[in-house]
Structure 1
């Protein structure tokens, strides 16, 4: 009997496993089991090298559905993400994302569908790596700015948490309007606009006040 398994990678203190599961269930997934790695960098650590990542590969069977918030949960390095998704498809596992509802299924034999699927995998993996590197640079800038300074030099404290920041980015990525995202996150429209238009600055502010 096939199962639907949610894999979550929680890499910061303000990200929560419960939040990722809630997002998946809100998107219509009925989760049978959750596997999660906490405090593990997806940019530097491949899925198979993570404690729960190894367990995940051991437990997945043909026909199972692996749900992830986004492909960056599987890794943020282009080569790692693409190879991981292909490994999972070779096992007969269907990979589905919460954001944008993407499906990666190795069962299709149609060459055109295969070409479109493989191109999409590459594009998504490249986007994940680029976003990760931009986020890392923003965090680094925020931390460097904060070194040796007291709160008076940190700038205004963000009016949003890491969880709200992620929720805004997720909602906008799914094509939701600013008003809808603001209502869902409890933030003002101005704050949502600020996160949308200047994500690096918002990320840096979170890093400074971490």
Structure 2
């Protein structure tokens, strides 16, 4: 049996090493780290990523696949649910660092199977919903800024687009403000403002074309 950690890194502010460090801190003994960098989880299915394809080749029955959260596998509902089910069909156990979820195809108890499958569906839906919410916020911010070139721009945001996305991503995973502050370097006050009024924070970025 081998324990394989998979990381998907989509921005310059994320690193595979950081994600692997989180997993080890959570108690996972990792044998192999596999990472795709600069890859979108929205438009590129796991099987279409260079290192994602490698997972399907290297994982065998009783192996364990560890990911920070299911959004590392993808942000498309259908793709994520089918990916997890395919690994389970192969006898691979999928575990998440955040929330400590375990998806094991060896489960035969009907109630446990129902709970497991419901969790897969819920977490995959959450990953896609998070992406769609971010897109809508971006759209609202852009629309708010259109045609207002002479308008007062307001205070320039103290965070970048990548930092904003990281904060939103972290809140959707249920992470605490203190942890987000430590990971992003953004002040706690700013993180609270993003949490409490995401649309306004997004609009500020759009006004400054950030």
Task: Say yes or no: does 1:96 pair with 2:95.
Answer: yes
Residues 193/76 of structure 1: CA separation in 2 closer, same or farther (3 Å cut): same
Partner residue, 1:63: 62
Contact kept in structure 1, 2:140 and 2:203, CA below 8 Å? yes
Considering only aligned residues, what root-mean-square deviation do their CA atoms show, in Å?
3.2
Contact kept in structure 1, 2:7 and 2:68, CA below 8 Å? yes
* Paired residue secondary structure (2:156): coil
Partner residue, 2:179: 181
Q: Which moved more, 1:187-196 or 1:134-143?
A: 134-143
Residues 9/183 of structure 1: CA separation in 2 closer, same or farther (3 Å cut): closer
For 1:24-103, list aligned pairs within 5 A.
24-103=23-102
Residues 43/118 of structure 1: CA separation in 2 closer, same or farther (3 Å cut): same
Deviation, structure 1 residue 49: 1.1
Deviation readout 1:128-177 (Å, 9 max, x if unpaired)? 1110112233345567759x97xx9585133478468636853784464x
Q: Which moved more, 1:102-111 or 1:10-19?
A: 10-19
TM-score, normalised with respect to structure 2: 0.81
* Paired residue secondary structure (1:35): strand
TM-score, normalised with respect to structure 1: 0.81
Residues 205/57 of structure 1: CA separation in 2 closer, same or farther (3 Å cut): farther
Residues 23/141 of structure 1: CA separation in 2 closer, same or farther (3 Å cut): farther
Q: 1: CA distance between counterparts of 2:203 and 2:95?
A: 30
* Paired residue secondary structure (1:170): helix
Q: 2: CA distance between counterparts of 1:19 and 1:169?
A: 16
Partner residue, 1:124: 123
Deviation, structure 1 residue 83: 0.5
Deviation, structure 1 residue 7: 0.9
Residues 209/104 of structure 1: CA separation in 2 closer, same or farther (3 Å cut): farther
